[in-house]
Amino acid sequence: MERSLVLIKPDAMERGLAGAIIGRLQGEGLNLVALRMLHMDRPLAERHYAVHREKPFYKDLVDYIISTPIVAAVLEGENAVERIRELMGATDPARAAAGTIRKDFGLDVQRNSTHASDSPENAEKETGLFFKENEIFD
Ligand code: IDP
Ligand code: MG
């Protein structure tokens, strides 16, 4: 069994889409094992997006992710990381495949509604930023 960290980003929160997006993932057989609503502070956002520190969009991205409360979730299933990335679609909603979450809900390349871990190693690291081990259920 594999776990992935999913964030419902501010653009989706503002449009009341958290339940719809998590529901889609559950509908695909992924098991919700942790859930939390929080307003990320800048240090947490900077740690979460540390790999993008040198990118031109980094500062905007951090400002955006801390602009409203978000929902963080851990979903579990076989091959969960890859399956969730597929269900979310490409980073840019305009390039995302039909039927993906970002195609259906994303607004633009930054405001693309969701984050999902891109490897099992990163899933473990990212999950640790948002949840204690005893907040994740079997
Ligand atoms: P991912 O979310 O599909 O893994 P990453 O390349 O890891 O995409 O980028 C992290 C986040 O940074 C994206 O989800 C998006 O919100 C934002 N982002 C990525 N590329 C751009 C860009 O070219 N312009 C503005 N924001 C971007
Ligand atoms: Mg990424």
Residue 10, domain member (yes or no): yes
Neighbours of 72 (CB within 10 A): 21
56: in domain: yes
Residues with CB under 6 A from ligand 1: 52, 57, 61, 91, 109-110, 112, 115, 118
pLDDT of res. 79? 98
In a domain, 62, yes or no: yes
Say what the pTM is: 0.98
Domain membership of residue 105 (yes or no) is yes
User: Could you give the count of Cα atoms lying within 13 Å of 37 in the half-sphere of its Cβ?
Assistant: 7
Q: Find the CATH number of the domain harbouring 27.
A: 3.30.70.141
Q: What is the pLDDT of residues 53-75, one digit of tens each?
A: 999 999 999 999 999 999 999 99
Say if 137 falls within a structural domain: no
Whether residue 16 lies inside any domain: the answer is: yes
**Is 138 part of any domain?**
no
**Structural domains in the chain (count):** 1
115 is a catalytic site residue: yes
Q: What are the strands, taking DSSP E only, across 2-134?
A: 2-8, 31-38, 70-77, 114-116
Count of H helices and E strands in the chain? Answer: 7, 4
Give the atom of ligand 1 at the shortest distance from the alpha carbon of 91.
Answer: 3
Domain extent at residue 79: 2-132
Span 87-122, pLDDT tens digits: 999 999 999 999 999 999 999 999 999 999 999 999
